[in-house]
Structure 1
Amino acid sequence: MLRIATVCGVGMGTSLLLKMNVQDVCRQLGVEAEVEHMDVTQAKGARVDVIIASASLAADLGDVGKPVLPIRNFMNKDEIRQQLQQFLTSRASS
């Protein structure tokens, strides 16, 4: 099972919205995933496979030892799908 963190500055509104869209995309892709929403500080120590955050917050996360997928528009499921598919493809080839 894929563990995903969705991240915003405070870990409440935007990350929760992103979480719901990521869950929808995972279902569409047939990917079994556990998605948690959190703030930047929590994400730095989270035990997840990948972090999905706004492009502006991706830089704030720095080197967290796991992939960070930057999203420009949290409502754009096509963008989320594209980022997740690229991640899953690179993970499968590793």
Structure 2
Amino acid sequence: MKIVAICGAGIGSSGILKVNAERVLARLGLEADVTAAHLGSLSADAADAQVILSSREFVDAIGPTNADVIVIENYFDTDELARKLDRALG
């Protein structure tokens, strides 16, 4: 499974979200390839992704996709991330 965390530049908040998603997946006993990306590379990076993690501000920019788009309100809230990933993947 592939999960892509996105932000505007692909280094700051998407990197934080990537690390927290990896921690949450380990806690849930799930395995996935998690990558951080920026909007400009999203079509290539997320072409085969099952899940895209994003803040609300980037949802419209994601465009058409076969992936589940999960909006994360607080990138540091691992409980929120766990609930939403568990619901999407469970």
Structure 1-normalised TM-score? 0.86
Q: Tell me if structure 2 keeps the 8 A contact 1:18–1:74.
A: yes
Shift of residue 38, structure 1, vs aligned partner: 0.3
Q: Tell me if structure 1 keeps the 8 A contact 2:56–2:71.
A: yes
Question: Which sections of structure 1, spanning at least 5 residues, go unmatched?
Answer: 90-94
Structure 2-normalised TM-score? 0.90
The percent of aligned pairs where both chains have the same amino acid is 31
SS in structure 2 of the partner of residue 65 of structure 1 = coil
**1:85 alignment partner AA:** D
Supply the RMSD in Å over aligned alpha carbons. Answer: 1.1
Question: Which sections of structure 2, spanning at least 5 residues, go unmatched?
Answer: none
Shift of residue 43, structure 1, vs aligned partner: 1.9
Q: Tell me if structure 2 keeps the 8 A contact 1:43–1:51.
A: no
Q: How many residue pairs end up in the alignment?
A: 88
**2:28 alignment partner AA:** L
Q: Tell me if structure 1 keeps the 8 A contact 2:20–2:78.
A: yes
